[in-house]
Structure 1
Amino acid sequence: MKKNKFVTSTIILIIGGLVTKILSMFIRIIMTRYVGSYGIGIYMLLVPTFSLLISLCTLGMPTAISKLVSEDKKNNKKIVLNASTLILLIDIIIITLVYISSNFIANNLLHEPKTYYGILAMGIVLPFISISSILRGYFFGKQRMLPHVITNIVEDIVRLISIVLFVPFCLSKGIEFAVAFLILSNVFSELSSIIIFLILLPKKINKNDIKPNKSYIKDILDISLPSTGSRLIGNIGSFFEPIILTFVLLKVGYSNEFIVNEYGILNGFVMPLILLPSFFTMAISQALLPVVSKGYSNNNKRYVSKKIRQAIFFSLLIGIPCTLIFIFIPDIPLKLIYDTNLGIPYIKVLSIVCLLHYIQAPLTSSLQAMGLARCAMRGTLIGMILRTITLFLLSFLKIGLWGLVISTSINIIYVTVHHIIAVKKTLKNSRN
């Protein structure tokens, strides 16, 4: 393993992440200008459901493929093809359930009929996201970060163009159709990624590569199921977030319009702004997983410990300055990006806690790479339970969406501290 491989991979991902983050900001600005805070509120009500469905459809396959490919002990083409077949079968089941339950989710769970068409749009998008994520996992395992960067940039450009071209037309038909297209636009962006990945993949595939193999499927599931557990638990918590919030706040006297608008401000403006540095920490965690996985499988614990410390240091290097900006001058980036001053009090509180969130992704990747996905899942599960309980109880206090702010903060603190302790304990017990 080349010593500079991790640093090179990280730099490529950071540069790519910066470009895609700028493009994402443009997309967010255009979305806000087209559909307004109310439309963004409807869109943000849909996001937790969309994230949950993506987790169910991808089933942790990208992590499993990245780990297996990086270890280089099996036929990589066979890994990708077996994973693709399995995931498409799962997608068919989930998409069927989505269409059957879409009306119930929109009217009885989210309490917003305008989310109905957005839920239907999710079913169309899911297979494209699944295949794209599997191909992405292969290139991560090979530590070839350039295809990931290129596809991310192309995705955002394609999505930006499709939104500009089609959202105004959809808006003339109704806000619900415009919001639905914001989700549907992912079809075009993910399809562009799939085409690029297929061009860059090895071309020689024989019949044996395509044939399903129980051993390969078992190896994939042994990694993917525990790995997806952490993400799935977080997504389940996020899925119930707007359901609990709307149920309790409507019960204590808040109007549906207030809830949708405030939820849109918090999750449409505040959280994306605070999590802006996450492109950096996600780049680090993506580059870290195959490096730690290979180092740990070779029993090189000192090397693993060094790389994890580097990842945390670089995450804080960008996280601390951003946190200071969000605490002392939050109105400037908020006005610059979203042309609004709404949500400043939320930003000042959440930015302090999110400093811990910036190091959570590298810690989670480290645990997964060291075969401790179940440990990460357990920490995430307890954090989600704490968040859900506190959200439910605090929402009865008639403090608006501050209950959500406080419960989110509790979750971030607990999960990050749990992961720090788990990583330190593992490296201490297994030190050479």
Structure 2
Amino acid sequence: MSKDNFLRGALILTAAGIIVKLIGSVNRILLSRLLGGEGIGLYQMAYPIYLLALSLSSAGIPIAISIMVAEKIAVRDIGGANRVFRISWSVLAVTGLLSSLLLYWGAGWLVEYQLIRDARAYYAIAALAPAIFFVTVLSSYRGYFQGLQQMTPTAVSQIVEQLVRVAVMVWLAYVLMPQGLEYAAAGASFGAAPGAAAGLVVLMYYYWHRRPYLPQPRETVNGRDSGWRIMKRIVKLALPVSLANIMLPVVSSIDLLIVPARLEAAGFSIQEATELFGYLTGMATALINLPTILTGSLAASLVPSVAEAFTLKNSGHIQNRVAKAIKIANLITIPSFAGMYLLATPISAMLYGAPEAGISLRVLSVGVVFLGIHQVSTGVLQGLGRTAIPLVNMLIAAAVKIGLSWYLTALPALGIQGAAWATNVDFAVGALLNLYFVYRYTGFCPRLGNTAKTIMATILMSIMVIYTYDAAMSAWLNNTMATLAAIAAGSLVYGASLLLLGGVEERDVAGIPKAGTFLAKLLRHLQLFKKK
């Protein structure tokens, strides 16, 4: 069974991530129309519980399993890799079943003790219980395939899971609506279970179909880890990753407590503070997360690749992988920062009909570069087995963010921009601390030459963006058309400039899966590659 190369694996996961997000966007629109505000409220009371289960099972555990499987595969201990999978599957099946039963029987307790204020949400919470089991078992398969550096099974299962989940959610919400709003919300919640079950079936198919093609193990394998030792290491690797994933909603909750209150201290009314907070968290934050779909996929693809090289003590391979990942991250995040900074107000007006959100987006766009580096460096450290380090760095960065949010947001001259700058500092501190530890354990230093070429191409792109937007607005007097024209023209100039400056070489283009060879020939024919 051939492995996906590092870049191919990242692109496969990126494509899946984009499709999943598009399906999710359609789901939000349909569900909102079906359930209305009150029904969505009941659904949202239950949904965070599902997200908590996902943060525990879909983040930490697959990464831990992928690290251990990659380590075994590196020394051709195929039996050991399969043993890691079998033991993790068995334990997760038991814990998933217990968690499902606990949630089902505990739903009434949550309502009884007023942790869930609306008693009607009981049905939505209980309906989520089966999903916990399937999601937990699902995570063992995803970790196994990622450890084999096979990203296609994970990508396909994610798409199938989302498709089935959304279809069942919408259908059950529609069918149960005549029975009452609480039953319709419960039907929407239940959709997570058949979705996860469908994703699990896909992964089981890949597992049984591809098993005969696994490379044969060596005749002798030194030592054999006990089941207890395997599970102990999985917990050791997975726990910091899961805690880091849980921190994201925790920090968001802290923002909810701090930012609106400090805006009021700066002189804004309650209504103004709420509106500004919505612009920052509901609009600007969603946009800066878009470029990081690729960097997040790079991080996931890096983990088993780095783990394999680290096991073989191949430091050169690790440094090459890190350099390529940082280069790709910068190629995406640096122009994304410039584009969102320059077109912050037009983009906000085009997408949300709220040009006021551009103030937050312009400031927050600076953090895109650091966020991309943070994700990639986290993947490297996880691949090295140092999963606790990104968690500690995230805690330090979060503490800095909380302090700055408290101080800067209350300054009348900054207001909501102060909260945005605090978020940027959060990303920067986490990224820089991670890079320090990457250097400490691998000796890798960022290559400034490639970054300089990317910055130069971005400057040329920015000039074209400004010129095109102003010219289009003068000609059409239509913000949407002018914004789209500026984005298109800027993208073309950025791509051409990058090729002519040597920021992307022919071998980089040729390495793109499927279309790389054709694109390299076409660009060479157009003489867009820098001459050596």
TM-score by length of 1: 0.78
Evaluate the alpha carbon distance shift between residue 76 and residue 127 of structure 1 in structure 2; reply closer, same or farther with a 3 A threshold: same
Distance 2:407 2:180 in 1: 36
Distance 2:184 2:45 in 1: 14
Q: 1:294 matched to which residue of 2?
A: 308
- Letter in structure 1 aligned against 2:373: I
SS in 1 for 2:365: helix
Evaluate the alpha carbon distance shift between residue 117 and residue 325 of structure 1 in structure 2; reply closer, same or farther with a 3 A threshold: farther
1:254-273 aligned within 5 A: 259=274, 266-273=280-287
Tell me which moved more, 379-388 or 132-141: 379-388
Distance 2:397 2:90 in 1: 33
Q: 1:133 matched to which residue of 2?
A: 139
Evaluate the alpha carbon distance shift between residue 403 and residue 93 of structure 1 in structure 2; reply closer, same or farther with a 3 A threshold: farther
Contact kept? 1:41, 1:268, Cα under 8 Å: no
SS in 1 for 2:150: coil
Give a deviation string over 1:224-281, Cα, whole Å, max 9, x none.
Answer: 234334334445434554466688889999769974x766654443322221122211
Distance 2:387 2:401 in 1: 21
User: What is the identity percentage for the equivalent residue pairs of Structure 1 and Structure 2?
Assistant: 22
Distance 1:247 1:77 in 2: 53
Q: 1:417 matched to which residue of 2?
A: 432
Contact kept? 1:41, 1:264, Cα under 8 Å: no
Task: Say which of 183, 187, 200 aligns to 2:206.
Answer: 200
Distance 1:264 1:170 in 2: 32
Evaluate the alpha carbon distance shift between residue 27 and residue 244 of structure 1 in structure 2; reply closer, same or farther with a 3 A threshold: same
Q: Which runs of 5+ in 1 are unaligned?
A: 206-211
Contact kept? 2:310, 2:384, Cα under 8 Å: yes
Tell me which moved more, 262-271 or 13-22: 262-271
Note if 1:158 corresponds to 2:172: no
- Letter in structure 2 aligned against 1:87: L
Q: 2:325 matched to which residue of 1?
A: 311
Q: 2:392 matched to which residue of 1?
A: 378
Contact kept? 1:41, 1:265, Cα under 8 Å: no
Note if 1:219 corresponds to 2:233: yes
Contact kept? 1:44, 1:268, Cα under 8 Å: no
Evaluate the alpha carbon distance shift between residue 324 and residue 402 of structure 1 in structure 2; reply closer, same or farther with a 3 A threshold: closer
1:331 Cα deviation after fit: 5.3
1:36 Cα deviation after fit: 7.3
1:356 Cα deviation after fit: 1.1
**Aligned residues between the structures:** 419
Contact kept? 1:61, 1:220, Cα under 8 Å: yes
Distance 2:122 2:157 in 1: 30
Evaluate the alpha carbon distance shift between residue 375 and residue 30 of structure 1 in structure 2; reply closer, same or farther with a 3 A threshold: same
Evaluate the alpha carbon distance shift between residue 303 and residue 122 of structure 1 in structure 2; reply closer, same or farther with a 3 A threshold: same
Task: Say which of 81, 87, 98 aligns to 2:86.
Answer: 81
Distance 2:18 2:302 in 1: 18
Give a deviation string over 1:70-127, Cα, whole Å, max 9, x none.
Answer: 12245334323322343355453587376334654444xxxx9997766555545333
Q: 1:321 matched to which residue of 2?
A: 335
Q: Which runs of 5+ in 2 are unaligned?
A: 213-225, 446-532
Contact kept? 1:234, 1:384, Cα under 8 Å: no
Evaluate the alpha carbon distance shift between residue 116 and residue 409 of structure 1 in structure 2; reply closer, same or farther with a 3 A threshold: farther
Evaluate the alpha carbon distance shift between residue 117 and residue 254 of structure 1 in structure 2; reply closer, same or farther with a 3 A threshold: farther
Contact kept? 1:58, 1:87, Cα under 8 Å: no
1:221-236 aligned within 5 A: 221-236=235-250
Question: CA RMSD for the aligned pairs?
Answer: 4.3
Note if 1:427 corresponds to 2:470: no
Contact kept? 1:383, 1:412, Cα under 8 Å: yes
Distance 1:41 1:270 in 2: 23
Between 1 and 2, higher relative CO (CA 8 Å, sep ≥ 6) is seen in: 1
SS in 1 for 2:167: helix
Q: 1:209 matched to which residue of 2?
A: none
Contact kept? 2:172, 2:188, Cα under 8 Å: no
TM-score by length of 2: 0.65
1:27-426 aligned within 5 A: 27-30=27-30, 50-57=50-57, 60-72=60-72, 73=77, 74-91=79-96, 92=98, 96=102, 99=107, 100-101=109-110, 104-107=114-117, 123-167=129-173, 183-202=189-208, 213-242=227-256, 259=274, 266-330=280-344, 333-334=347-348, 343-391=357-405, 404-426=419-441
SS in 2 for 1:143: coil
Give a deviation string over 1:159-185, Cα, whole Å, max 9, x none.
Answer: 333344344567778887776666543
Give a deviation string over 1:286-324, Cα, whole Å, max 9, x none.
Answer: 111111111111111121011111111111212223223
- Letter in structure 2 aligned against 1:200: Y
Evaluate the alpha carbon distance shift between residue 248 and residue 337 of structure 1 in structure 2; reply closer, same or farther with a 3 A threshold: closer
Contact kept? 2:4, 2:150, Cα under 8 Å: no
Give a deviation string over 1:30-57, Cα, whole Å, max 9, x none.
Answer: 4566667898899788776654443345
SS in 2 for 1:60: helix
